[in-house]
Amino acid sequence: MSFFRIFIILVVCLAAGGSSAAWRPETIRVAVVKGGDTLQLDGTGVLLTDTRGEPLRIEMPIEVKRAGSRITANGVTISGLVASAPIRIDVNGKGYRGIVEVTSGDRGLLVVNELPIEDYLIGLINCEISSAWPLEAVKAQAVIARSYAIYQKNARRGAPYQLESSVMDQVYEGCDIEDSRAARAVQETAGEVLTYDDKVIQAFYHSNCGGHTENSRNVWGMSLPYLRGVPCRYCLDANPMRWDLKLPLKKVEVALRAAGYQVGGLKDIRVQSRNESGRVQELAVYGSRGRIAVSGVAFRKAIGYGVLKSTNFEIRMAGDEALISGTGSGHGVGLCQWGAKQRAADGFDYQEILSYYYPGVKLAKGYGQ
């Protein structure tokens, strides 16, 4: 080992107060931009290399353009760009900590932000909930987001990135919305994750269950002992989420056909069965060629997760429209964020909140630091 490397390790060690757990924080790779042909990078004290680690001397700000399987940075063609800065790097005006990598992906520019998991969590809190919520709810959010990130990191080792920055995984918009309460919740739960049988759990969560959380089997066909569904009147107290939706049958037909269902002349949709949480298990869809069965989960996916907020709904026909009224928002599996908020306001601590929504789990320390 060269003197230089020993020197670097010593400096990093001293900067971290000499703690062996903290001097090499576990990192996570998050896809923060997928698509588009141009973007702008900016920042102060930014170190730049190409993807092989060769230093680049390009002035900030940098206009990045896609050029086939390569990119150009202020007109210079390179394989890709790796940027790191002591504080933050701006990508299209949004700040990110750690390292930012820009390459040409299948569907446009791909920007991956690699950063310590604990820093990622501080940025994430105000994307998923509000740090102004009771602190025990914010701490519960920190623990489940950390558990989710570490589970996915292990599951997607070797992939170009391990997390999406959208509701597909966890919403993450960089460091601009960090604040001291989010940082406090992350620090007070530092390195804590939920485990079952000594393995980090798939800590799914959602916005508002509407009265009962969902068994993972009903959504993904995957039975997990800690994702079985529990009653939750708490979100009804905190934020009773009722919604109504009017969908032209023609539009529903187009959406179902796009999802692969052979339906024509759609004239009626009825709830055929509900599961134990009250959500729609199966719909009967009547068209000119008879009846087909569509699961509630597949129906929501076809219509759009943002349009049909949950599978907890009633449906009736009015002329050439379907009138849908429902409750809750999200898939319903795992922790209910609005329910957790109310439970924290009722005086439960974050461990009690977590063990309610994930029965049988344990809180383990020492991960992701």
Question: Which tokens belong to 118?
Answer: 């604990």
235 binds Zn ion (CB under 5 A): yes
191 binds Zn ion (CB under 5 A): no
User: Measured from the CB atom, is 328 or 368 closer to Zn ion?
Assistant: 328
353 binds Zn ion (CB under 5 A): no
Picking from 84, 83, 164, 174, the residue whose alpha carbon sits closest to that of residue 121 is 174
User: Measured from the CB atom, is 113 or 277 closer to Zn ion?
Assistant: 277
Burial annotation 180-206 (CB, 10 A radius, 16+ → b, else e): ebbbbbbeebbbbbbebeeebbbbbbb
| In contact, 238 and 286? CB cutoff 8 Å | no
DSSP 214: B
C-alpha separations of 129 from 95, 122, 306 in Å: 19, 12, 17
209 binds Zn ion (CB under 5 A): yes
CB of 94 to Zn ion, least distance (A): 31
**H/E run at residue 50:** strand 47-50
CB of 238 to Zn ion, least distance (A): 8
User: Measured from the CB atom, is 121 or 209 closer to Zn ion?
Assistant: 209
Would you give the binding string for Zn ion spanning residues 318-347, x where CB under 5 A is met?
Answer: ------------------x--x--------
CB of 215 to Zn ion, least distance (A): 14
Contacts of 311 (CB under 8 A, 6+ apart): 279, 280, 296, 297, 299, 300, 332
CB of 195 to Zn ion, least distance (A): 23
User: Measured from the CB atom, is 219 or 336 closer to Zn ion?
Assistant: 336
| In contact, 62 and 39? CB cutoff 8 Å | no
140 binds Zn ion (CB under 5 A): no
**Which region among 64-72, 201-209, 291-299, 311-319 touches Zn ion (by CB under 5 A)?**
201-209
CB of 171 to Zn ion, least distance (A): 19
308 binds Zn ion (CB under 5 A): no
**H/E run at residue 257:** helix 249-258
Q: Which residues bind Zn ion (CB under 5 A)?
A: 209, 232, 235, 336, 339
